[in-house]
Amino acid sequence: KLEEYIRTHQQIWPEMTEALNTQGIHNYTIWNNNDTVIGYYECESLQYADKVKQESEICKRWAEMMGGIMVLDAEPETNEIKSYQQIFGHK
């Protein structure tokens, strides 16, 4: 459902971008290669961003909508999104 995923992000709700701002998220970009998408963003505190996201009704609505479009790479036992270890960074 890559085309639907792209279209959805090209028409992102203004309330959703405001929710990202409230979470302190900036420099958010998403790339794809075939059926794989990878998102990257910067924030001051991942714990704060996650807390605000969990409390946000707009983020819950967005996640419900996106749930029918994409499959997350999540831990089978906990359903938490797998995290990645940074191995290189250049500023």
Q: How far apart are CA 6 and CA 12, in angstroms?
A: 10
Respond yes or no: is residue 90 known to be catalytic.
no
Task: Note whether 28 and 41 are within 8 A (CB).
Answer: yes
Torsion of CA 42, 2, 33, 45, to 10 degrees: 10
Among residues 5, 6, 8, 9, the one annotated as catalytic is 9
Closest CA to 23 of 57, 46, 3, 5: 46
Residues taking part in catalysis = 9
